[in-house]
Amino acid sequence: MNTARDIIFYINSFASYEPLFAWKIASIFVGTVFLVFIIVILFRTSWIKFQLLFDLTEFLTYKPLGVPNLTRQWQRIRSMLRSANEGEYKLAIIEADGILGNTLTRLGFNQPTIAERLKQVSPAIIPNLDQIWEAHKVRNNIVHDPDYRLSLEEASKVLGYYEETFKSLDLIS
């Protein structure tokens, strides 16, 4: 116990100032170099920009980052139903399901497929979960069965399910 007190006394004493001064300067220099290195790395990557932009946008607008882009994308998907082309209807559903998959990933559901992510979601997060399952099954039919027929009415109904989900998650207005 006495030795610890003696060491602390020696470090703090004026007599030890000169021998430790070089170490103190070297430590400050090395610490500063490492701090500058970390700051440069953070600004060269997009991580700090994304985190600041993400938090600031959500704080100021009360909506998640990227909502305006998602709203435009959703309007483009909805406009695909104005076409008389069944392929446009199918593409609209596939894109809507992709948006749902990306949204679930951003919410922390990192399973490899959308179906596995949906299994982890509770109705508290997505109130119309049964309808979304139905919509996802239609998407799977479109993707896996080239002869699958999709009417305008069915496509409108399925996109309505996705729209209800996106509105409940405050992704579109």
Show Cβ contacts of residue 170 under 8 Å, excluding neighbours closer than 6 positions.
63, 64, 67
Q: State the sign of the Cα–Cα–Cα–Cα dihedral 50, 53, 58, 61.
A: negative
Q: How far apart are CA 10 and CA 17, in angstroms?
A: 9
Q: How far apart are CA 38 and CA 88, in angstroms?
A: 48
Choice among 34-38, 42-46, 108-112, 159-163 with the minimum mean pLDDT:
42-46
Task: Please give the pLDDT value at position 37.
Answer: 93
Residues with Cβ within 8 Å of 95's Cβ and at least 6 positions away in sequence, in order, are 73, 77
Q: Which residue has the higher pLDDT, 123 or 47?
A: 123
79-135 residue pLDDT tens: 988 888 889 999 999 999 999 998 888 888 889 999 999 999 989 889 999 999 999
Q: CA triplet 125, 77, 167: central angle to 5 degrees?
A: 25
Q: How confident is the model at residue 169 (pLDDT cuts 50, 70, 90)?
A: confident
Write down the H helix ranges in 45-85.
47-61, 67-79
Residue 159, pLDDT score = 93
CA separation for the pair 41, 57 (Å, rounded): 23
